[in-house]
Amino acid sequence: MENKSAWLLIAIGASLWGVIGVFVTYLYEVGFTPLEVVAVRVLTASIFMVPYVLMKNRQLFKIKVKDSRYFIGTGIISIVLFNWCLFSSMRESSISIAFILLYTAPAFVTILSRIFFKEALTARKLTALLVTLIGCSLVIGIFSSSTASISLYGLILGLGSGFFYALYSIFGKAALSKYDSLTVTVYTFLFATVAIVPFSGLGSKLSTLTDLKVLGLVIGLGFLSTMLPFIFYTKGLQYVESSRASIIATIEPVVASVVGFFIFNETLSTWQYLGMIMVISSVIIVQESKKQKANRSQQFDQAGA
């Protein structure tokens, strides 16, 4: 596959993640709570993921019991809490702001990687952190009118989604050292499903789920904005460096903002749009080129020789 085709797959995947706000907002309108929407997403994703992995390679389901701790991290601590914060943030503020604050995740990854993996805080990473901080300050409406700004609770939810999303990289890095990416993904959703569905109150919505419109929203959430983008993104990653893929994926908050504007009439101030650009730019800044990584690795090897 040519790089251009792989880039397109990644962009499509990220765009499909970006339209998730449509399904979430309409599910709110028919009476679903953020917790119930999280339960619906992980449950339907599991329903679609399990047959897919079985068809690909049933051996991918084999894991050691002691390694369940990795999936408690990726599925419960990260995915459940990340989704709850993101969906709650959408309701508290807007789709646009929620997705912009979600993209503080790379900044959190930088900080957490320093703490847990002792990764160096390079000038590039520190610059990205500063740009993220300034961008978030603009996004929350520090220079906007009170009607355009968001509440403290909305800010905490938005940053929480970025933080818990970042934790997926930390837990996932450990899991991926032992298991295939498909194994990590399917068990992440399965653990999340087992953890949240019994306590979500989703049972009270069984009659609602028989409505074709609601069922369509649920399928859209679980398949179109979860399962399908995962397949596209993973396929693209086979031919594109992860650092480049993450840059391409910054189309996600842009798509979310466009969806919010055209479908739900959401608007941001000029300062907030500038903040969005800065947050997205920080994701690009923090990426190191292949040549820079090689040079840094060579310097490390020379120092250790």
Domain count within the chain: 1
Q: Name residues whose C-beta falls within 8 Å of residue 303's C-beta, 6 or more positions apart in sequence.
A: none
In percent, how much of the chain has pLDDT > 90?
Answer: 47
Measure the CA angle with vertex 91, ends 39 and 30; round to 5°: 60
Which of 79-93, 163-177, 206-220 shows the lowest per-residue confidence on average (mean pLDDT)? Answer: 163-177
The residue with tokens 């990260």 is 78
What's the confidence (pLDDT) of residue 301? 38
136 confidence band (pLDDT: 50, 70, 90): confident
What's the confidence (pLDDT) of residue 142? 66
Reported as a single tens digit per residue, the pLDDT across 242-257 is 667 777 888 888 899 8
C-alpha distance from residue 242 to each of 51, 165, 235, 245, 271 (Å): 26, 16, 12, 5, 31
Question: Which tokens belong to 155?
Answer: 């800010």
Instruction: Look up the domain containing 176 and give its range.
Output: 3-304
What's the confidence (pLDDT) of residue 38? 96
Counting beta carbons within 10 angstroms of the beta carbon of residue 250, is it exposed (0 to 12), middle (13 to 18) or buried (19 or more)? middle
300 confidence band (pLDDT: 50, 70, 90): very low
Among 74, 83, 79, smallest CA distance to 34 is for 83
What's the confidence (pLDDT) of residue 242? 65
172 confidence band (pLDDT: 50, 70, 90): confident
What's the confidence (pLDDT) of residue 288? 59
- Bigger pLDDT: 303 vs 8: 8
C-alpha–C-alpha distance, residues 63 and 221, integer Å: 28
Mean pLDDT (whole number) for 66-89? 95
What's the confidence (pLDDT) of residue 298? 43
80 confidence band (pLDDT: 50, 70, 90): very high
Reported as a single tens digit per residue, the pLDDT across 17-60 is 999 999 999 999 999 999 999 999 999 999 999 999 999 999 99
What's the confidence (pLDDT) of residue 170? 85
149 confidence band (pLDDT: 50, 70, 90): low
pLDDT at 89 over 90: yes
What's the confidence (pLDDT) of residue 147? 46
Contacts 24+ apart (CB under 8 A), 138-144: 138/271, 138/272, 138/274, 138/275, 138/278, 139/97, 139/100, 139/101, 139/272, 139/275, 139/276, 139/279, 140/97, 140/275, 141/269, 141/271, 141/272, 142/271, 143/269, 143/271, 144/269, 144/271, 144/272
What's the confidence (pLDDT) of residue 42? 95
In percent, how much of the chain has pLDDT > 70?
Answer: 90
pLDDT at 294 over 80: no
pLDDT at 218 over 50: yes
Mean pLDDT (whole number) for 111-135? 86
> What is the chain's mean pLDDT, rounded?
86
What's the confidence (pLDDT) of residue 15? 94
pLDDT at 105 over 50: yes
Q: Name residues whose C-beta falls within 8 Å of residue 217's C-beta, 6 or more positions apart in sequence.
A: 23, 26, 27, 30
